[in-house]
Amino acid sequence: MADVITYRDAVAEGIAREMRRDASVVCLGEDIAAAGGVFKTTTGLLEEFGADRVWDTPISEQAIVGAAMGAAMTGMRPVAEIMFSDFLACCWDYLANEIPKVRYMTGGQVTVPLVVRTANGGGLGFGAQHSQATENWALTVPGLKIAAPATPADVTGMLAAAIRSEDPVVFFEHKGLLATKGPPPPPGHVVELGRAAIVREGADVTLVALASTVPLALKAAGVLAGEGIEAEVVDLRCLVPLDAATVLASLGKTSRLVTVEENPYQGGWGATVVSVVADAGFALLDAPVRRVAGECVPLPFADTLEQQVIPTVDKVVTEVRRLAAY
């Protein structure tokens, strides 16, 4: 294996590894087979595993996720692709009402071990209906696990954990990260769901980030270091289960918190992190908490407008400076 791998290739690699280990893993989605996916995240799967395991579907989001659910209830481990996360709205019934409730409503009789993968987030100028960061939609639903990796190795390792999970997982692959590169995942790499990573250590402020905002927070930390402010960056990796312990431990060192999220401020996951901290770690804080988040508007098309709306390095730096001065 090469000494770097792209985030995009890490997706196909992660799925392929699980398909090799477990014959019950099958894929379905629009354009995922011969075409290799519109984001080329399923390239090579059809060639290696054949048409019995990699299925092209019609444009039928309800049927894709509903059929994945039925298959998962009856012995398979389907990995369903919803092309853009915006389209999750077309099959929202399955994500909000069906998949996450079955285990509970049946008193534990039926488990739904499936993964819904989807391309999330902005930054590519796709306009309001193809650019949303929608992880906060899923966050409102008890019963779903939510994974959103930031690095190629995490993509593969978290896919392994997600596909092996007995519980349903919504797996957000960030469009803005697809071309990024990183160290390849070692053989057998599994990243347990619900384990955050400290991706930079620091003693002055904790930046909690997810997916696209992880590289952003790291860049901001670099700028701040030049000013003598050492930021610790926590990559949450999963929203559910949420690794509050790692966030609280980091606050034990820094006593200052900034969350950096791409989804809109309104109802965003940063609010949940902040409320957990207010509840379980209030005494750790020496300053108010701050949330850098998307504005509460649909995503505009033009780069200059989009930059106004989504988190940027400058916005993070500005907030941290304010906090450091508190």
Partner 1 sequence: MDATALLDRYERMNVIRRTEKAAHDLFLRGLVKGTTHLAAGQEAIAVGASAALRPDDYVFATYRGHHHALARGATPEECLAELMSRATGLCKAKGGSMHLTKAATGMLGSYAIVGSHLPMAVGAAWSARLRGTEQLAVAFFGDGATNIGAFHESLNLAAVWKLPVLFVCENNLYMEYTPIADVTAVPRPAADRAPAHGIPGEVVDGNDVEAVEEAVGRLARRARAGDGPAVLEAETYRHFGHSRADPAAYRPAEEVERWLKHDPLDLARGRLTELGVDEETVAGADERARDVVERAVEAAKAAPPPDPREALTDVWADGGAAWRT
DSSP string, 119-162: EE--SS---TTS----HHHHHTSTT-EEE---SHHHHHHHHHHH
Sign of the CA dihedral with 217 first, then 218, 219, and 224 last: positive
227 is a contact residue toward partner 1 (CB under 8 A): no
71 is a contact residue toward partner 1 (CB under 8 A): yes
Q: How many CA atoms lie within 13 A of 183 on its CB side?
A: 5
Longest CA span, the chain: 60
241 is a contact residue toward partner 1 (CB under 8 A): yes
* CA gap 124, 212 in Å, rounded: 12
* CA gap 83, 299 in Å, rounded: 18
The mark string for 33-62 relative to partner 1 (x by CB under 8 A, - otherwise) is -------------------x--x-xx-x-x
DSSP string, 272-289: HHHHHHHHH-GGG-SS--
| Partner residues linked to 17 by β-bridges | none
Name the residue with tokens 């389907």. Answer: 78
324 is a contact residue toward partner 1 (CB under 8 A): no
6 is a contact residue toward partner 1 (CB under 8 A): no
165 is a contact residue toward partner 1 (CB under 8 A): yes
**Least CB distance to partner 1 at residue 61 (A):** 8
Which two three-digit tokens encode residue 21?
Answer: 């280990």
C-beta closer to partner 1: residue 179 or 245:
245
Please identify every residue annotated as catalytic.
Answer: 61, 130
* CA gap 206, 190 in Å, rounded: 26
73 is a contact residue toward partner 1 (CB under 8 A): yes
**Least CB distance to partner 1 at residue 170 (A):** 13
Q: Tell me the three state secondary structure of residue 33.
A: coil
Angle, helices 213-225 vs 313-324, to 10°: value is: 50
293 is a contact residue toward partner 1 (CB under 8 A): no
140 is a contact residue toward partner 1 (CB under 8 A): no
Contact pick of 22, 34, 97, 301 for partner 1 (by CB under 8 A): 97
C-beta closer to partner 1: residue 193 or 218:
193
Contact pick of 14, 29, 36, 78 for partner 1 (by CB under 8 A): 78
Binding part of the chain for partner 1, among 39-47, 130-138, 160-168, 200-208 by CB under 8 A, reads 160-168
Contact pick of 3, 109, 187, 282 for partner 1 (by CB under 8 A): 109
Name the residue with tokens 């559910």. Answer: 240
| Contact positions vs partner 1 (CB under 8 A) | 26, 52, 55, 57-58, 60, 62-63, 65-76, 78, 93-94, 97-98, 102-111, 113, 142-143, 145, 165-167, 194, 240-245, 276
